[in-house]
Amino acid sequence: MTEPMMINLALAILFLPLLGFLVTLLFGKRIKSIYTFEIAIIILAFVGAVVLLFTKLSYYQNTDIVSQVSWINLGNVPLLGNTTIDIGILIDNISVLMIFVVTLISMLVHIFSIVYMEGDRLYNRYFAYLGIFTFSMTGIVFTHNMLMMYIFWELVGLSSYLLIGFWYEKKSASDAGKKAFIVNRVGDLGMLSGILLLYTTYHTFTFSQIFSQIAAGHFPLNSEFWLTVTGILLFCGAIGKSAQFPLHVWLPDAMEGPTPVSALIHAATMVAAGVYLVVRIFPLLTSGALMFIAVIGMLSAFIPATIALTQNDIKKVLAYSTISQLGYMVMGLGVGAYKFAFFHLITHAFFKALLFLGSGSVIHAMHHEQDITKMGGLRKKMPITYATFLIASLAISGIPLTSGFLSKDGILQGSFAFGSLTGYWIFAFVGFLVAMMTAFYMFRLLILTFHGEPRDHHKYEHAHESPFTMAMPLAVLAVLSIFIWYTPNPFNPEQGAILSNWIKTPQLVTPQDSRFNFMKSELPANVAVQQVTQNSEVMYSESYTQALEGAHIPSLLLSLTLAGLGILIAFSFYQWKKVDVDKLADSIKPLYKLSYNKWYFDEIYGAVFVGGTLLLSRALAWFDQYIVDGIVNGAATVTRAVSRFSGKFDNVVVDGMVNGTAYVSGFIGLIFRRFQTGKVQTYIVLVVFSLVILLFIFK
Amino acid sequence: MNTISLNYLVDSLKLIKPEIALSITLVLIVLVDLIMNKDKKFLPYVFVAGLLVTVYLLIEQFSTSAFAFTTAPNLGMVIIDPFGNFFKLLIAFATIIVIMFSVLSNEIKEGLDRQGEYYALMSGMILGMFLMASSADLILIYVSLELVSLSSYVLAGFNKNHVRNSEASLKYVIYGGISSGIMLFGISILYGLTGSTNLYEINSLIQASQVHGLTFIVASVLIFVGMGFKISAAPFHFWTPDVYEGSPIPITAYLSIASKAAGFALLIRFIKITFIQSVDPNGFWHLLNVIDWKTFFIIISILTMTLGNFAALWQNNMKRLLAYSSIAHAGYLLLGLTVLSNEGIMAIIIYFVVYGIMNLGAFLVVMLIANKLGSEEIDDYDGLGSKAPFLSVSLAIFLVSLTGLPPTAGFIGKLYIFMALVDAKMIAVAVIALLNTVVSLYYYIRVLKHIFLNDPQKETQVLSTSVASVVFLVVLITPVLLFGIYFTPLVDLAKSSISLMGF
Amino acid sequence: MIQVGLNHFLVVSTALFALGILGIVTRKNAVMVLMGIELILNSANINFIAFAKFGNFGFQGQAMALFVIILAAAEAAIALAIVLNIYKTFSTVNVDEIDTLKD
Amino acid sequence: MNVYDIIFYLFAAITILSAFFVVTTRNIVYSAYYLLFTFFGVAGIYVLLGADFIAMVQLIVYVGGILILLLFGVMLTNRITSVEIRSGSIHVVPATIGVALFAGILLASMWNTEWKSVDTAAPAATTQNLGFLLIHQYTLVFELLGILLLIALIGAASMARK
Amino acid sequence: MTYFPILSFITFLPIVGMILILFIPKSQAVIIKSLTLVITGIQVIAALFILHYYNYSLGGINDPNSFQFIEKFRWIDIAGFSWIGRIKIDYFLGIDGISVPLVLLTAIVTFIATISSWTINKSVKGYFALFLLLDTGMMGVFVALDFFLFYIFWELMLLPMYFLIGIWGGPRREYAAIKFFIYTLFGSVFILLVMIGLYFSSTETLADGTKIFTFNMLAMMNPHNFTQFGILSPLNPNNLRLIAYIFLFIGFAIKIPMFPFHTWLPDAHVEAPTAISVILAGVLLKMGTYGILRVCFPIFPEITQQLVWYIALFGMINIIYGALCAMAQKDFKKLIAYSSVSHMGFVMLGMASLNTLGISGAIFQMFNHGTITAMLFLIVGVIYDRAHTRDLEAFGGLATQMPVYTGFVTLAFFAAIGLPGLSGFVSESFVFLGAFGFGLIRVLTVVSTLGILLGAGYMLWTLQRVYLGSLKEKWTSLTDLTFREYAMFIPLSLIIIFLGVYPSAMLSLMNTSVNSMVKFMADAKVMYSSLAGF
């Protein structure tokens, strides 16, 4: 398979879902079964992705394939010469891996939805939306430039808006869609500013060109500080899309969407786009930016984890867990554990999609009951779902033999190493803490849902195992949550091809003095420049490698212990009921309430930002109507005072004379009218006086 | 002892052929009135015929420049020059149109038995105006002014049984009497200062010797009172709204155009001939340093237009509104004089043509509407747009032109005024004038609002318009629109009319 | 007392002029207003003749005065006719009561 | 102080005082009579200024014509039966102030002016000279006055007739 | 070079139509409507012809030779003695990359508005006659190159607009109409003044070598054409160029409308009938920004450079202020009207950047705003026709009742908030990229980006309030789009999508011109500073 062929294949993968979207949307009304077209398309895309993955990783493992085309030609721009704005696609290991994940999960969700969404009024429309989502996501993955990234970034926002608000008759659903879009836009503003900085500095959007210019010592506004700022601003996009603190509030609400959608976009793909963005721009991140990213990641890992501890909605728990896991990834990137972070992205995609689909299966079985306190004992009724859910729970808790163990441990290892190299132990500390909490709340969820006695017997009676089209995706994902696909050694991910050959930490392009010490290149600067575009292994410095190796065993043991502890506590609380949970909650009531009420983020944002904006807008509208208009219209108050003296004035005002100059003019006119008394002798007196005045002026 | 030279008279009479024709017309009208005791519908046509002859004679001598009734070289009572001829032509045409008005007017028809007097007075008035436009002697100025005034006092009160007609004429006569009295007093002082009543002579006398400032200023200002009264410039405008409202519409129209034109012709001639020192190649006048005419006219014109526009905002009577609007237009016209340049005069002339057409048109429509509705109140115009679409659209065009919006002739008139101002670097004045235009839009558009936007209060019945009035309106609308987009002939006419005798 | 000269006559004429205006402005009766106008015209005539005499300007001044007198007669005739007409329509000749035309 | 001066002051006093009464007397008929004295005084002043012809015209036209006209006006517009034909005044205060200021300016300016003053005896043949002016230099004005009188005639008749 | 005078044709065709309509009896409403449709349709075809024969490589701006479809002949030629009264005015039409998009826009929007006007039943004849007159005025503004002609066209559209709002508008139509009229006239008198001032300051060399004063805008752009002592001449050390610029700018800004001169807009929009709102927002507002680009910038380049920060500042205020005001509205149409204020702010911001991206973005945004806002107003019109209310709170759940309509609504709304793939995105991004590239206004640009957030806020909120949620009982009788409405929405939607995906189609039209403009502005800085040494 030649490179052009691969490009064409990539383009096909990109545009097939769009075709699916258009066809399904336009003929959705007429042809009942048009959704099958969309499903066929996505299967085709998946096959293409597999072929691409295979080809790329087998034959072009160290070659990046780029194809670009000029989208907009700006002509002969003064000072810059001929300028074009290019768009193009980049096929490298990261993108093919990502595309594989995206198309796979998308396909599984499509299949899962066939039964899950059956009978919905807008059945075909739903599949159309899935199509446009897949298209947008694929675009993000394949882009080789920042502009296209932004374009598809926004399109993903749109499709998520459409999908979250799919059941738009429900106010909560359309609210959630709106919230998701707007909160995302907040992050996008930062990203846009970052893009503006990049473009004004480099006059290109293409990553590789930007990187090589940075490596050549050309910075935004000629200062390294602004390079840091650029990095942080771009990362803002990721904060929004990946629902990182403090913009995480939209994701739990987004659970209003159909559950398969949650699995697709709010677990596996769209939210991962933020992480993917950071992965893409990783080379230009300075130590300051990385530190910022790490802190945000840490907070995002921690806060939602605490919230997830107490939630009762099955999907909410998963949502907060998603944020928390994404926080892990972001933190991992922040501490320089690039490979592990991306690895976690992939593994998490599978098991989190599995969890969501599993919960979908449960919800489907329970007739759209989502409260876990009303479930229980479903293990017997839904064995497949239970089994797959259990595997996923183990994976997310980081229990050995699962994929989650491999990737999560990598991140913890990275933060451990980071702590040891820089002294910032906080990341490692929080990482481990969250690992324990994760284990706890996942098993709390599992136990309450599947174990014990059924709490709602009526619903329980009707519960049943899901049909094949729903169970199959669960099985596939469960299989993919096993370690074997990634590495032969369940305790060391780096022995697998994925980490040793496919994912490689890119060469940083930031200046040496704005990197962490351990990241400083030991190669001469000019060599570094040449290596920018090459996909060669870079492992920062010798000391980092050592620290990482040193961290492996301690972090592994620690995380295992903590995860085990978390599971143990969960079992003792909910399965064996050793501790009265309600009593415990009572005894730490403030903390419990804080967690249960999601740290009051929604309330605070609602009051401060939404309320503030609305208040401001109302104030301005009032201002506009009364003050601005009033000022331009002349002194309305003066006029009103005058109107008391002249009854006629009111008539005229009513007559439509509420007008600009008219107020003042009318007033002046009124003065002039006073002279026109109708008495000719008065006129003559006035003439005499004006003559006197004229003579005085001109004497 | 002086000897009387017959040649002196004959030469002079040759130059005042239009005036002679007018006098003959006057006599003819009186005679026809006496002979045709019952049927007087020929009278207006006799008058028009006489006027056509006059027009012919005027055109014949249009570019002549000469003194008539000379007593010494380069002095004369009467001046025949293109400038004067232009105004005479304008007045003659306005008169013809007003006669047509009168034929159509219900108000004039009421006094059918006094038609002869009506036209006789009118012909006396036009004769006075002709002489106003061409006299260079203060005595003649005064007498011709009085001739115009006396006729117009009576005409303003023509329908003597109407309360407002007689009131208008009383106010007019009192106001006019005192104005001309004050003017006469000023003339007497000027005479005392210079020993002459001839403007050219006065000019050369002032150039030759120092004249005492203050008295001279007093005299000039007092003389200006009489002219300011005629052109209704503030603060001598007070009669205008009352008289315009009270008079029959044709007379109002006539006063607002012909009488004003004559007044302007007189004013310009008086200022230019009396006070000129030299004219520079760019056409700017250098006046004798006697009185700061520029500032004087700036004050007067801004006051006039501001007052006219702002007071017009409040009017509910269409005639009164047009009266104030004509005051405002006098202000714009005076702007042309403030520039004190030939360019300014040209602007005034252009403006006058345009103003004449559109103002006559507006009054004509108002009259036709009044004929039908029996009302001039703007409130009664509600819904006229559907009842009488042609009249309404015509009025709209005239009012838009009065506002000065392109592509109507009104815009061209304003354009030239403002060009003159900008060229003279009088930007602040131009800004004030332009803002005035914006104010004026409001009251003009208010009329249109009533016509088109308001729903009729009474039941709708379509008002028919006679063929004669339609033709007549079309005749007036055509130049308003035509000059708006192609004004070369207009400017050419003005250009050939700016030369005053002697300068 | 100084020799009577031009200025004395001018004072007389100015006084007459001022009184004329005063009369026009203050008297209610329209006929009396007309009387005021006549006073003004007379004052101007005094000026003309006085200037002509003292400035030795010839007879123009007198001719002017002559014209003015004739004009005054004509004006008075017309004005009185108008006043009579007013009396017919308003039943009064008080100028200040004739104010139906106003803003 | 010679006779000329005394006569001047006499006439001036008659003129101004009677004019003052014209303006101030409440009885209209009285003020018409005061107007007679004013005209008479003015005629005297004309004579003093050597304008004998004009003085005559003044007497004939003003006293004989205009004044009678005015008196008729008074009579026709008032109920003769009422003994007291009175007329009030308006605007007295503002008018007085305005007129005083105006007259003040006029006087001040005129008083301070250096008028051309040539001391010559009055020429005897005023009438002849005027006549010559009328048919020579002022022919047009003269003719025009004719038309004006015609117009006044027509106008007045038109206004006044029933 | 002789060819068909297409610009005159496209400009005066509506006038011909108007005259024809005047001769059609009042009762033949359908004929009148069809005739108007045909006329505007021909206009669209003519605009497409122009597009087809347009030479992309010619710049225009200040170079008369690179304008296209030029029609130039003496219109007014009055010889003078001395110089007094001499006046020469050319009938000078021509287009370059700045005007072509707007000519196209005018043709399209007018055509769509004609379809939208089909529902007019009151005085049909008058409506369409005025409508066509308005059309001529708008088209003329975009093709005139002589200032005088430009001004005539500029004013020509005032009166029809007044009547169109005043007679066929909503309950407070009279107030809105007169407010519109007075505001815009207030602005245009300043333009008139500056026009005259420029006339007396700039000359044009005739074929025989004599120099005469000129209204030719292109001649005014060359500083060497200015007279020594003209009040607006840069050669004159005491010139009033700064004041004149501000006057001129205010004149145009009122049309944009720029804060704080914008208050006429919400009133006019709310009261105007749908089709007229469409024209107002779609074309009329563009006249202001076009005027600034065509007149203010190239004739006063050095002043522009001085004041660029303020222009950007007002652009920013427009963006934020308009968006916030929109958010508070309860009237659907008023909301859209304020969103126009906000969107036109982008145009100003883009222009202020004085670089290729910014100015291209500004012009492109003008076009896009024209199509998108036209669509938004049509959307309001559709709902108002059916429900007779525009109260946002009164609706809910219309998506269920009118799915196709809601589809178009979604498209238009997302276009308005700058979603990629739709045309608004490209222009807004260009504006930001351009403005951010100009160091002086960088901070303003960053603040302006808030506008897209607020835009998303109010648009989505509206979408939710009106279309999403559960359907209210009283709206169950509403019907979905009719064929006529499809005919309005589909072309606009296609344009919006096409330009979103392939913006080059529009951008390449203007590239050369924009680049020459940027170059001209940059060169002018040097040129004018050297002139100051005179």
Query: Where exactly are the structural domains of chain D?
Result: 1-85, 126-162
Average pLDDT in the A169-173 region? 83
Check if the beta carbon of residue E300 is closer than 8 Å to that of residue E245.
yes
DSSP A522: S
Q: How far is A669 from B328, CA to CA, in rounded Å? A: 13
| Residue B94 DSSP symbol | H
Mark whether C and E touch (3+ CB pairs within 8 Å): no
Quick one: average pLDDT of B69-91? 87
Over residues A380-416, the pLDDT tens digits come to: 788 888 888 888 888 888 888 888 888 888 888 888 8
Chain D residue nearest residue C40, CA to CA = D19
Half-sphere exposure of D35 (CA within 13 A, CB side): 33
Cβ of residue A524 closer than 8 Å to a chain B Cβ: no
| Nearest-by-CA chain A residue for D94 | A685
Tokens standing for residue B247: 């008079």
Determine the pLDDT at residue A663: 62
> Smallest Cβ distance to D28: which of C17, C29, C39?
C29
CA C86 – CA C97 distance, rounded (Å): 11
Residue in chain A nearest D101 by alpha carbon: A692
Please name which of B323, B466, B343, B349 lies closest in space to residue B402, comparing C-alpha atoms. Answer: B323
* Amino acid letter for position A285: L
SS3 B61: coil
How close, in Å, is residue D149 to chain C by CA atoms?
6
Both tokens of E115, joined, read 């379809």
CA distance A308 to A314: 10
Contact assignment for C42 to D38 by CB distance below 8 Å: yes
Three-state DSSP at A455 gives: coil
- Chain D residues with CB under 8 Å of B195 CB are 116
Sorting pLDDT into bands at 50, 70 and 90, what band is B288?
A: confident
Query: Which tokens hold the place of A47?
Result: 């096959």
Q: What does the DSSP assignment read for B105-140?
A: -HHHHHTGGGHHHHHHHHHHHHHHHHHHHHB-BHHH
Instruction: Return the structure tokens found at E428.
Output: 């807004």
Q: What is the mean pLDDT of residues A203-230?
A: 86
* Numbers of helices and strands, H then E, in chain A: 32, 2
CA-based nearest residue in chain C for residue A685 = C25
| Mean pLDDT score, E359-368 | 93
More confidently predicted of B8 and A166: A166
E103-114 b/e (C-beta count within 10 Å ≥ 16 → b): bbbbbbbbbbbb
What backbone torsions phi and psi does residue A114 show, to the nearest 5 degrees?
A: -55, -45
Inter-chain CB proximity C18 and D100 less than 8 Å: yes
* Neighbouring residues of B254: CB distance < 8 A, sequence distance ≥ 6: B94, B95, B98, B122, B125, B155
Is residue D86 exposed (0-12), middle (13-18) or buried (19+ Cβ within 10 Å)? middle
pLDDT of B130 above 90:
yes
Residue E340 scores a pLDDT above 60: yes
List the chains bordering chain D where 3 or more Cβ pairs fall under 8 Å.
Answer: A, B, C
In this predicted structure, what is the pLDDT of residue B353?
A: 93
Percent over 70 (pLDDT), chain D: 90
Which chains reach chain E with 3 or more Cβ–Cβ distances below 8 angstroms? Answer: A, B
Structure tokens at E117: 């006007």
Give me the residues of E, 316-345, that contact A with CB < 8 A. Answer: 321, 323-329
**Rounded to 5 degrees, what angle do the CA atoms B222, B225, B229 make?**
165
Contact list, D98 vs chain A (CB under 8 Å):
685, 688-689, 692
Q: State whether residue A676 sits within 8 Å of chain E by CB.
A: no
State the sign of the Cα–Cα–Cα–Cα dihedral A8, A11, A13, A18.
negative
Look at residue A657 in the predicted model and tell me its pLDDT: 38
Would you place residue B147 in the very low, low, confident or very high pLDDT band (cuts 50, 70, 90)? Answer: very high
Question: D112 vs B321, which has greater pLDDT?
Answer: B321
Confidence (pLDDT) at A652: 39
C-alpha to C-alpha distance for E187 and E253, rounded to whole angstroms: 8
Q: Do A656 and B312 touch (CB under 8 A)?
A: no
- Dihedral sign from CA coordinates of A533, A537, A540, A541: negative
Decide if D16 touches C, using CB distance below 8 A.
yes
Q: Do residues B422 and E162 lie in contact, with contact meaning Cβ atoms separated by under 8 Å?
A: no
pLDDT of A677 higher than 70: yes
- The residue written with tokens 């008297």 in the block is C27
Contact call for C31 and D74, based on CB within 8 A = yes
Name the percent of chain A lying above pLDDT 70: 91
pLDDT tops 90 at residue A555: no
Tens-digit pLDDT profile for residues A534-543:
444 556 777 7
Question: In whole angstroms, what is the distance from residue E187 CA to residue E264 CA?
Answer: 12
Compute the nearest-CA separation of B110 from chain E (Å).
37
Angle, alpha carbons D133-D139-D145 (nearest 5°): 110
pLDDT (tens digit per residue) in E378-404? 999 998 888 888 888 888 888 888 888
- The whole-chain average pLDDT of chain A stands at 81
User: What is the torsion angle, in degrees rounded to the nearest 10, for the CA atoms of residue E382, residue E385, residue E389 and residue E391?
Assistant: 10
B13: distance to nearest CA of chain C, Å? 21
**Alpha carbon distance B131, B119 (integer Å):** 18
- Confidence (pLDDT) at D162: 65
What end-to-end distance do the CA atoms of chain B give, in Å? 34
Tell me the residue type at B223: I
| Interface touch B405/E155, C-beta < 8 Å | yes
Interchain contact C98–B (C-beta under 8 A): yes
Contacts of C70 in chain D (CB under 8 A): 61, 145, 148-149
Q: What percent of chain A has pLDDT over 90?
A: 1
Say whether B296 and A683 touch across the interface (CB within 8 A): no
DSSP string, E260-293: TS-THHHHHHHHS-HHHHHHIIIIIHHHHHHHII
Residues A223-235, mean pLDDT to the nearest whole number: 88
Q: What is the CA radius of gyration of chain D?
A: 20
**A202: which residues sit within 8 A by CB, 6+ positions away?**
A209, A210, A213, A218
Arithmetic mean of pLDDT, A45-70: 86
Contacts of B16 in chain D (CB under 8 A): 140
CA gap E37, E35 in Å, rounded: 5
- Of residues B502 and C76, which shows the higher confidence score? C76
Q: Give Cα separations from A409 to A421, A444, B93 (angstroms).
A: 18, 22, 105
How far is residue A461's CA from residue A454's CA, in Å, rounded to a whole number? 9
CB pair distance less than 8 Å for D155 and B147: no
d(CA E57, CA A75): 9
Pairwise CB contact (< 8 Å): E453 & A185: yes
Percentage, residues of chain D above pLDDT 90 = 33
pLDDT at B441 over 80: yes
* CATH classification (class only), D1-85: mainly alpha
Which residues in chain B (46-75) have CB-CB distances under 8 A to chain D? 68-69, 71
Mean pLDDT over E451-469 rounds to: 85
User: Whole-model pTM?
Assistant: 0.90
pLDDT reading at A452 higher than 90: no
Give yes or no for A688 touching C (CB within 8 A): yes
8 Å CB contact of B177 and C75:
yes
Q: Does C96 touch chain A (CB under 8 A)?
A: yes
pLDDT, greater one: B74 or C95:
C95
Per-residue burial over C11-46, b if 16 or more Cβ lie within 10 Å, else e, is: bbbbbbbbbbbbbbbbbbbbbbbbbbbbbbbbbbbb
Flag whether E touches B (3+ CB pairs, 8 A cutoff). yes
Tell me the Ramachandran region of residue E230: left when phi exceeds 0, alpha when psi lies from -120 to 50, beta otherwise: beta
Q: Which residues of E touch A79 (CB under 8 A)?
A: 522
In order of B46, B471, B473, E371, the CA distances from B96 in angstroms are 11, 15, 14, 55
Residues of B in contact with D162 (CB under 8 A): none
- Rounded to the nearest angstrom, the minimum Cα separation between B217 and chain A is 7
**Which of C35, C38, C82, C84 should one mutate to test binding to chain D, selecting the residue with the greatest count of D CBs within 10 A?**
C35
In this prediction, residue A656 has a pLDDT band, given cuts at 50, 70 and 90, of very low
Look at residue A454 in the predicted model and tell me its pLDDT.
77
- Amino acid, single-letter form, for residue E476: T
Q: Look at A592-596, B221-225, B475-479 and tell me which has the smallest mean pLDDT.
A: A592-596
ipTM for the predicted complex: 0.90
**Contact flag E192-B346 (C-beta cutoff 8 Å):** no
Mean pLDDT of chain E: 88
DSSP output for E108-145: HHHHHHHHHGGG--SSHHHHHHHHHHHHHHHHHHHHB-
Reading the block at residue A148, the tokens are: 């296209």
Residues of A with Cβ-Cβ distance to C99 under 8 angstroms: 677-679
**pLDDT at site E498:** 93
Across-strand partners of A69? A87
Residues of C with Cβ-Cβ distance to B187 under 8 angstroms: 44
Instruction: Please list every residue in chain A whose beta carbon sits closer than 8 Å to the beta carbon of residue D101.
Output: 692
Residue pair A253/A168 in contact by the 8 Å Cβ criterion:
no
Q: What is the mean pLDDT of residues A268-288?
A: 87
In Å, how far is B395's CA from the nearest CA of chain A? 21
User: Chain A partners of C103 at a C-beta cutoff of 8 Å?
Assistant: 673, 676-678
Whether D98 and A681 lie within 8 Å, measured CB to CB: no
SS3 assignment, position A86: strand
User: Distance of alpha carbon A651 from its chain centroid, rounded?
Assistant: 59
Joined together, the tokens standing for residue A105 give 């999960």
Give the model confidence (pLDDT) of B149-186 as tens digits: 999 999 998 888 888 889 999 999 999 999 999 999 99
Q: What is the 8-class DSSP label of residue E146?
A: B
Q: Which is nearest to A249 in space by CA: A638, A606, A611, A687?
A: A606
Measured in degrees and rounded to the nearest 5, phi and psi for residue E402 equal -130, 70
